[in-house]
Amino acid sequence: MRTFLLALLIAAFPAAAQQQELSAKAWLEHMSEGLKQQQFKVSLIHLQADHIRPLVYLHGKVDEKEVAFLEHLNGPPKNAVRVGNTVTFLEHDQPAYSVLASRIQGVWPAAFSDEISKLERGYEFVLGGRSRIAGRPGQMIRIIPKDSTRYSHQVWVDMESFLPLRYDLITDEKQLVEQIMAVELIVLQAPPALLQEAAEQEWPAVINTAERADGQNWKFSWLPEGFEVMVRDHHRLIGSQEAVEYVALTDGLVNVSVYVARASETPLPEELITRSGLSLVTENRGNAEIVVMGKLPPETLKRIADSLRLDSQP
Amino acid sequence: MDKLGQEWVSAAVDGEVEGQAMADLAADKGSHDKWRNYHMIGDAMRGELPDTINLDLSARIAQAIDDEPAIVAPNIQVTAKAEVDKPRGNVVPLFKQFGQYAIAASVALVAVIGVQNYQQQGPEQEPMSVLSTRPLVGTASPVSLQTGPVQQVQSGNSNEQVYEQRRRLNTYIQDHMLQQRLNSGVALDNSADIMPEHQH
C-alpha cells in the first residue's frame, strides 16, 4: 500500500508541477474541454435552500457524438437524455419531448462547457485554494462579477481530469444560494452501455422553436455588464393561457426572463425572493405589468424592469 | 408420558438434567410439545413473551428442514432463468417506456405554496416578500394553492385574491423554468440591445 501511494505521488508530481503554471482561465478552459471530450460518470448532490437532490450524470462519446444521461435518483422517474444537439426530457407525468440544446439543464451551468471567453464580458476569473472533494484534489476558481449586480460563482476543478467537482452560487454576503457537489467521479475509457443504448434509440422529434412568434422590439436602456438578449417572442403562459411578451436575457451563467402582460386585477407582489435563489420583481406601467425573474438580486431585476423600453423603429 | 416424565421435562427446561437425559428427551417426540409449552409458560411468568407468539415454530422448522432439498432445487432454476432474462431487461424498458410519445411542452419544477409579506417597521422601507417554494415532483396542480398557511399582512386582501396571486406567480415561474429548457439551444443574438442614448 505504501509503495503504491509512493508510486502515485511520483506519478502525480510532474502533472502537479505542470498545473502550477495554469491561469484561472486556463483551468476553466480545460474544464470546458473535459466536459465535452471525456467519458465519465459522476454522482452529484444538488443543494438548494432546504432541498437536497441526488443526481447521476453520465457523459460519453458514441460515434463521435456526445451522449449524456441525467437521472434524478429520488422520487418519481425524471431523466434527461442528450444525443448530439437534442435533449429529450423523460418525466413520469408527461409524454417525453425533445428540444434543441447543446447541454442538459440542471447539472453544471451550461456555460461551463461553452466558450469560457464569453463569460469574460461580465466576470473575472481568480484562482483560489485547493481542497479535496469526492476523494479527489480540486482547484478552486472564483468567477466574480465585474459589477456588484450579480451573485458570484465558485467552481472546484478536479486536478487530474479537469472535470468540475463542486459549484457554488453565493451572494455578496457570502451566503450560499445553490450548490452542486460531486460525491463520486469515475472517468471511463469507453462509453457506458446505457449511453450506447441511448444513442441508438429513437427519440421524439424536436419541438420546433422556429415557430415561435416574433416579439416586439423590446430594448433595455441598461443591463448588467455582459448581459444580452437571447430570445424575443410572444406566447401564452402554460396553465393560465395568459398572453405575454417575452424577452430572455443571459450573461452566459445567469438566465433572466422578462415578461410584459396586461395588468391584472390581482397585482403580483412587487418583490419576491424564493428560497431556491430565484427572485421576481413586478412593475406596473400604465395598463401593463412587467415581470422580471432570474437568479439575481432583486435590486438588479428592478433596474432591468425600469430600463425596459419599446423601440418603435424596428 | 407419565407424571414422572412430565416432571422430567420440566426439569430439563430449567437446565437440571444431565446430557444423557437430554438426548433421551430429544428422542422422545411426545415430549417436544411439552418442552415448548413449559418454555412458553416460563417466558410468560418472567414477562418475556414476544408480542406475537408463533406456536408452531418448532414444527415449522422441522418441516423446513425436511423440505430443504426440495426448496433448493427450484431456487436454482429461478436464478438461472433470471440470468437469462437480465441482459434484455436491463436498459431497454427504461427508454421504451417513455420514448414513444409525441411532443409535449409542459414543465413544472416549482410551485408556490405560500407568500409571506413581512411588513417592515419604517415607512420608508419597502415591504419584503419571501416566497416559499417547493420543488414539485409533478405538475404544479391547484392542490398546492390550497395547502400551506398564508400569512396575510396586507389588509383588504381576500383569500381568493391571495390564491389568485399565487396561481399567477406559479404560472410565471413555470414558464421561466420551461424557457430555460427551450432556450438552451439558442445562439446569442448579438444585435445591440442597449440603447446608448438612455445610458444611466
- Among A200, A233, A256, give the residue marking a domain's end: A200
The answer to whether residue A61 is domain-embedded is yes
DSSP string, A253-304: S-EEEEEEEEPPSSPPPSEEEETTS-EEEEEEETTEEEEEEESS-HHHHHHH
Structural domain includes residue A54: yes
Q: Say if residue A217 is in the same domain as residue A70.
A: no
Give me the residue spans of the domains in chain B. 3-84, 110-183
When pLDDT is averaged across residues B79-100 and rounded to a whole number, the result is 38
Region B146-175: mean pLDDT is 65
Of A49-53, A72-76, A247-251, B125-129, give the lowest mean pLDDT range.
Answer: B125-129
Name the least confident of A81-85, A283-287, A294-298, B80-84: B80-84
pLDDT in tens, B26-42: 677 666 777 677 777 77
Interface contact flag, A99 B126, Cβ < 8 Å: no
Is there a contact between A206 and A196 (Cβ–Cβ < 8 Å)?
no
The H-or-E segment that residue B40 falls in is helix B30-45
Which of A200, A225, A243 is where one domain is finished? A200
Q: How many CB atoms lie within 10 A of CB A294?
A: 26
Q: With left for phi above 0 and alpha for psi between -120 and 50, is residue B71 left, alpha or beta?
A: alpha
**Using the 8-state DSSP alphabet, how is residue B158 labeled?**
-
Is beta strand A279-285 parallel, antiparallel or unpaired with respect to A271-274?
antiparallel
User: Is pLDDT larger for residue B111 or for residue A284?
Assistant: A284
**Range ranked top by mean pLDDT from A141-145, B38-42, B135-139:** A141-145
Higher-pLDDT residue of B182 and A41 is: A41
Sign of dihedral through CA atoms A89, A93, A96, A97? negative
- Residue A287 pLDDT > 50: yes
Q: Is residue A80 part of a domain?
A: yes
In this structure, the answer to whether residues A240 and A194 fall within a common structural domain is no
- A242 compared with B23, residue with greater pLDDT: A242
A74-78, A161-165, A195-199 — most confident range: A161-165
Q: Tell me which of A200, A233, A262 is where a domain ends.
A: A200
A76, A268, A276: residue with CB nearest B168? A268
Q: What is the pLDDT of residue B3?
A: 60
Say yes or no: A188 and A47 in one domain.
Answer: yes
**CB < 8 Å from A in window 32-61 of B:** none
- Tell me the pLDDT tens digit for each residue of A107-135: 888 888 888 988 998 899 999 999 999 99
The answer to whether residues A66 and A150 belong to one domain is yes
Which chain A residues have a beta carbon less than 8 Å from that of B132? Answer: 274-275
> Using 50, 70 and 90 to split pLDDT, how confident is the model at B148?
very low
Q: How far apart are CA B59 and CA A52, in angstroms?
A: 50
Residue A206 lies in a domain: no
Nearest 10 degrees: Cα torsion B166, B172, B177, B180? -160
* A145-151 mean pLDDT: 89
SS3 (DSSP) at B181 = helix
Least confident interval from A15-19, A84-88, B169-173, B195-199: B195-199
**Among A28-32, B61-65, B107-111, which range has the highest average pLDDT?**
A28-32
Does A196 share its domain with A232? Answer: no
Q: Please check whether residues A94 and A145 belong to one and the same domain.
A: yes
Task: Count CB-CB contacts under 10 A for residue A18.
Answer: 9
CATH topology for B3-84 is Arc Repressor Mutant, subunit A (1.10.10)
Listed ranges A103-117, A166-180, B88-102; the one with the highest mean pLDDT: A166-180
Amino acid at A236: R
Task: Provide the ipTM.
Answer: 0.84
Q: Under a CB-based contact definition with an 8 Å cutoff, are residues A245 and A234 in contact?
A: yes
Backbone angles phi, psi at A35, to 5 degrees: -65, -30
Rounded CA-CA distance A152/A145 in Å is: 6
Q: How many CB atoms lie within 10 A of CB B27?
A: 8
- For residues A199 and A146, give the distance between their C-alpha atoms in angstroms, rounded to a whole number: 41
- What average pLDDT does this structure show over A244-261? 91
Query: Span B34-57, mean pLDDT?
Result: 64
The per-residue pLDDT for A41 is 96
Residue A213: pLDDT band with limits 50, 70, 90: low
The answer to whether position A168 is within a domain reads: yes
Alpha helices (H) in B53-133, listed in sequence order:
57-89, 92-99
Nearest 5°: the CA angle A238, A239, A242 is 75
CATH number of the domain to which A65 belongs:
2.50.20.10
Of A15-19, A43-47, B10-14, B47-51, least confident by mean pLDDT is: A15-19
A194 lies in the same domain as A217: no
3-state secondary structure of B43: helix
Whether A182 and A228 map to the same domain: the answer is no
Integer Cα distance of A247 and A232 in angstroms: 5
Region A212-223 average pLDDT? 81
pLDDT at A81 over 90: yes
- Residue A92 CA to residue A46 CA, distance in Å, equals 20
| Boundaries of domain holding A276 | 212-310
Mutation for testing the A interface, residue in B134, B163, B182 having most A CBs under 10 Å: B182
Q: Looking at residue A170, what is its pLDDT?
A: 92
- Please indicate, yes or no, whether residues A232 and A152 belong to a single structural domain of this protein: no
Cα gap A11→A120, rounded to integer Å: 34
Q: Which residues, at least 6 apart from A226, have a Cβ–Cβ distance to it below 8 Å?
A: A119, A121, A122, A123, A146, A251, A252
Nearest to A221 among B137, B189, B195 (CB): B195
Cα(A269)–Cα(A13) distance, rounded to whole angstroms? Answer: 57
Of residues A37, A80, A90, the one with CA closest to residue A56: A80
Q: What is the CATH number of the domain that holds A283?
A: 3.30.200.100
Out of A81-90, B31-40, B80-89, which region has the weakest mean confidence (pLDDT)?
A: B80-89
Range scoring the smallest mean pLDDT among A1-5, A141-145, B7-11, B40-44: A1-5
Cell match 428560497: residue? A275
- According to the model, what pLDDT value does residue A48 have? 83
How far is it, in rounded angstroms, from Cα B148 to Cα B50?
43
Mean pLDDT: which of A52-66, A235-249, B136-150 is highest? Answer: A52-66
Residue A157 lies in a domain: yes
Distance CA A199, CA A192 (A): 11
Q: Which three cell numbers stand for residue B177?
A: 423554468
State which H helix or E strand residue B114 sits in: strand B110-118
The domain tally of chain A equals 2
CA of B113: which chain A residue's CA is closest? Answer: A274
Residue B19: predicted pLDDT: 65
Q: What are phi and psi of A167, to 5 degrees?
A: -135, 130
| Cell 395547502 found at | B147
Q: What is the DSSP letter of A251?
A: -
| Residues A74 and A104 reside in one and the same domain | yes
Q: pLDDT confidence of A141, banded at 50, 70, 90?
A: very high
Would you call B119 an interface residue with chain A, using a CB distance cutoff of 8 Å? no
What is the DSSP pairing of strand A271-274 with strand B128-135?
A: parallel
Same domain, A98 and A148: yes
Same domain flag for A137 and A248 = no
Which three cell numbers, joined as nine digits, stand for B82?
433470471
Range in A20-34, A266-280, B65-79 with the lowest mean pLDDT:
B65-79
Grid cell locating B77: 432454476
Q: Which of B128, B172, B186 sits opposite A293 (nearest CB)?
A: B172
Q: What percent of chain B shows pLDDT beyond 70?
A: 17
Q: Are residues B110 and A242, on separate chains, in Cβ contact within 8 Å?
A: no
Residue B90 reports pLDDT greater than 50:
no
Residues of chain B contacting A91 with CB distance shorter than 8 Å: 98
- CB neighbour burial string for A158-177, b if at least 16 within 10 angstroms, e if fewer: bbebbbbbbbbbbeeeeeeb
CA distance A127 to A86: 34
Q: Which three cell numbers stand for residue B142?
A: 391547484
CB within 8 Å of chain B, chain A residues 156-215: 193-194, 197-198, 201-205, 207, 209
